[in-house]
């Protein structure tokens, strides 16, 4: 399994975002290739001082309420996974939807490492 241009670009973008977020805030760790196939592929993932912003594919109907999350706090590093509750069945051109989740609602501290199980990159 070679490293094509899209994966290389996604990895570089992720490392850049993770490095910026790690300065006194949250350092993101992505599930990458080991992520379960059932998890939603995120187009982008970003951490800032107040929470996570995830970008997902949409055909026009995706809203924040269509997503849920699961947080595992049993290890030293919390782990979060995002999943759709409802499919986007609109028939508009494929675009993206930006969804925001605060650390408070996720129940995780706004500092340290946070693992996101969802793959980040081009949707399969």
Q: What is the pLDDT along the chain (124 residues), one digit of tens a residue?
A: 444 445 544 444 444 444 444 445 666 665 555 556 678 889 999 999 999 999 999 998 899 999 999 999 998 889 999 999 888 888 888 899 999 999 999 999 888 889 999 988 865 5
Tokens linked to 124: 């399969």
Calculate the CA 20 to chain-centre distance: 16
Would 71 be classed as within a structural domain?
yes
Residue 97 has what pLDDT?
Answer: 93
List the domain range (segments joined by +) for residue 87: 5-116
Would 41 be classed as within a structural domain?
yes
CA–CA dist 49, 4 (Å, integer): 32
Residues 6+ apart with CB under 8 A from 9: none
Q: Rg of the chain over CA atoms, in angstroms?
A: 14
Its pTM stands at: 0.70
Residue 21 has what pLDDT?
Answer: 43
Strand extents, DSSP E, 31-78: 44-47, 51-58, 67-72
CA–CA dist 45, 119 (Å, integer): 10
Residue 89 has what pLDDT?
Answer: 84
Tokens linked to 54: 């995830």
DSSP 65: G
Would 67 be classed as within a structural domain?
yes
Beta-bridge mates of residue 101: 52
Would 121 be classed as within a structural domain?
no
Would 124 be classed as within a structural domain?
no
CA–CA dist 41, 47 (Å, integer): 17
Would 103 be classed as within a structural domain?
yes
Residue 17 has what pLDDT?
Answer: 45
Would 85 be classed as within a structural domain?
yes
Residue 3 has what pLDDT?
Answer: 44
Would 55 be classed as within a structural domain?
yes
Number of domains making up the chain: 1
Residue 67 has what pLDDT?
Answer: 92
Residue 13 has what pLDDT?
Answer: 43
Residue 36 has what pLDDT?
Answer: 61
- The helix/strand/coil state of 13 is helix
């Amino acid at each position: 399994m070679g490293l094509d241009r899209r994966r290389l670009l996604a990895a570089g973008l992720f490392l850049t975002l993770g490095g910026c977020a790690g300065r006194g805030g949250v350092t993101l760790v992505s599930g990458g290739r080991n992520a379960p196939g059932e998890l939603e592929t995120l187009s982008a993932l970003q951490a800032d001082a107040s929470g996570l912003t995830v970008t997902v594919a949409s055909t026009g109907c995706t809203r924040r309420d269509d997503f849920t999350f699961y947080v595992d706090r049993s290890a030293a590093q919390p782990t979060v996974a995002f999943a759709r509750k409802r499919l986007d069945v609109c028939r508009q051109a494929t675009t993206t939807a930006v969804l925001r989740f605060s650390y408070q609602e996720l129940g995780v501290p706004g500092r340290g490492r946070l693992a996101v199980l969802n793959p980040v990159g081009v949707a399969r």
